[in-house]
Amino acid sequence: MYLKNIHLYAFRNYREQWVEFSTKKTILLGNNAQGKSNLLEAIELLATLKSHRTNRDHDLILEGSTTGQIIATIERTYGKSDLGITLRSPGRRSLMLNHENLRRHLDFLGHLNAVEFSCLDLDLVRGSPDIRRNWLDTLLVQLEPVYAHILHEYYQVLRQRNALLKAMGKNNHVPEKTPNLSPEISQLKLWDKQLAETGSRVIRRRNRVIERLTPLAQNWHTNISGGTEIIEINYLPNVIVNSDEIIEVQQAFLEKIEQRRIVEQQLGTTVVGPHRDDVEFNINKTPAKSYGSQGQQRTLVLALKLAELQLIEDVIGEPPLLLLDDVLAELDPNRQNQLLEVIKGRFQTLITTTYLHSFDSQWLDAAQIMKVENGKIYSF
């Protein structure tokens, strides 16, 4: 797939910017805080409808404006698509595909795929579980856009169930003394069922994607580390499952809800479900989070990112875009070479950097270099 051009209107610090990509390799050169990452963020939004830097559309719109827009043309083997996102603050986003408004977000996803790799990705290993859940979910949305809908449904049920548990707490609902058939308990049981149904769909997909990603990441890791270390990626679901059978996963879910019933009512919140999942990374059987050196953690994240690229390519049948946000300088020459070697001509790649010295002359000759300065992009 090839991102041919992108148009930004009142997006982050861009008032109006048109970029035409003339080669598969683009280097965005500029000092700090000029707008390099903002351009990659616009592409990330086209691919996932999410930004890893903010949840608020208000932040994405140029300060002082109420509407921002990202418009792009993508070429795929099956043809060309024009994508458009209009952001409003206040107001809701609207999405366009080939100049027609879309009612469902789902129909927008899957036209552009991208893997982003930034220095923030070290948080995948070091950070809190929600970062790892987000990473898994973003990957799943790209592999299977319907997952965005599944996840949305799960979080909707979770919100409603939490509201009920909270209200029960406020009404001093005493679990032990209340007969099973109180209206609140019957209502809660309905939510239990829905939580288990929607949550099981999330758990099964997360489980499967880890199973597919692990051998790819292990392979890359062996290549990069010279075979001296072995990594493991373990899905740590909050509801432990030993089967991919939907009925069995739901059953395990409902049993755990039953076990934690009193705790949930006391806390007034849902403690069972995939919103509490985690993923564990081990290097030579020890947790990478606490024991891995910075270098080992970087190698692990690089292997994960390369595995993501490969998995998306395998599933989609076309190489996704690779967005490298200021990471080259952080990698040692060996790992830089590994990465640049993999990219070669296969993936359309956009790299942000403050200096050009990390690139060899072959790369510089093949790349389109653009200078980013205070929300404007110039040919270099």
Ligand X SMILES: Nc1ncnc2c1ncn2[C@@H]1O[C@H](COP(=O)(O)OP(=O)(O)OP(=O)(O)O)[C@@H](O)[C@H]1O
Give the tokens for residue 69: 């827009």
Query: Which residues in 197-212 are b (16+ Cβ under 10 Å) and which e?
Result: bbbbbbbbbbbebbee
Task: Tell me: does residue 62 bind ligand X (CB under 6 A).
Answer: yes
Q: What is the residue whose two structure tokens read 């990330």?
A: 44
- The pattern of x and - marking residues 69 through 88 that bind ligand X according to CB under 6 A reads --------------------
33 is in an annotated binding site: yes
The window from 60-68, 164-172, 181-189, 335-343 that contacts ligand X (CB under 6 A) reads: 60-68
Under a CB-based contact definition with an 8 Å cutoff, are residues 331 and 299 in contact? no
Nearer to ligand X by C-beta: 41 or 277? 41
> Scanning the structure block, which residue is given the tokens 């099981």?
200
Q: Nearer to ligand X by C-beta: 118 or 142?
A: 118
Using the contact rule CB under 6 A, the part of the chain among 35-43, 140-148, 165-173, 256-264 near ligand X is: 35-43
Considering only 34-42, 133-141, 312-320, 334-342, which stretch makes contact with ligand X by CB under 6 A?
34-42
Helix, strand, coil distribution of the chain in percent, nearest 5: 50, 25, 30
| Interaction between residue 30 and ligand X (CB under 6 A) | yes
Euclidean distance between CA atoms 62 and 265, whole angstroms: 44
Q: Is 213 in the site for ligand X (CB under 6 A)?
A: no
Nearer to ligand X by Cβ, of 336 and 352: the residue is 352
> Rounded to the nearest 5°, which phi and psi values hold at 280?
-115, 135
Of 301-340, binders to ligand X (CB under 6 A) are 326
Stretch that binds ligand X, among 59-67, 136-144, 244-252, 281-289 (CB under 6 A): 59-67
DSSP character string of 22-78: -SSEEEEE--TTSSHHHHHHHHHHHHHS--SS-S-HHHHBPTT-SEEEEEEEEEETT
The answer to the question of whether 113 is labelled as a binding residue is no
Q: How far apart are CA 274 and CA 265, in angstroms?
A: 19
Interaction between residue 118 and ligand X (CB under 6 A): no
37 is an annotated ligand-binding site residue: yes
Nearest to 26 by CA among 333, 321, 332, 341: 321
Least distance in Å: CB of 13 to ligand X? 3
Query: Is residue 12 a contact point for ligand X (CB under 6 A)?
Result: yes
CA distance 101 to 95: 6
User: Which one, 3 or 39, has the nearer CB to ligand X?
Assistant: 39
**Residue 21 beta carbon to ligand X: minimum distance, rounded to whole angstroms:** 18
| Residue 308 CB, nearest approach to ligand X (Å) | 21
3-state helix/strand/coil string of 69-110: EEEEEEEECCEEEEEEEEEECCCCCEEEECCEEECCHHHCCC
Site for ligand X in 353-372 (CB under 6 A): 354, 372
CB of 58 to ligand X, least distance (A): 8
Start-to-end Cα distance in the chain: 25
Q: Which chain residues interact with ligand X by CB under 6 A?
A: 12-13, 30, 32-38, 59, 61-63, 326, 352, 354, 372
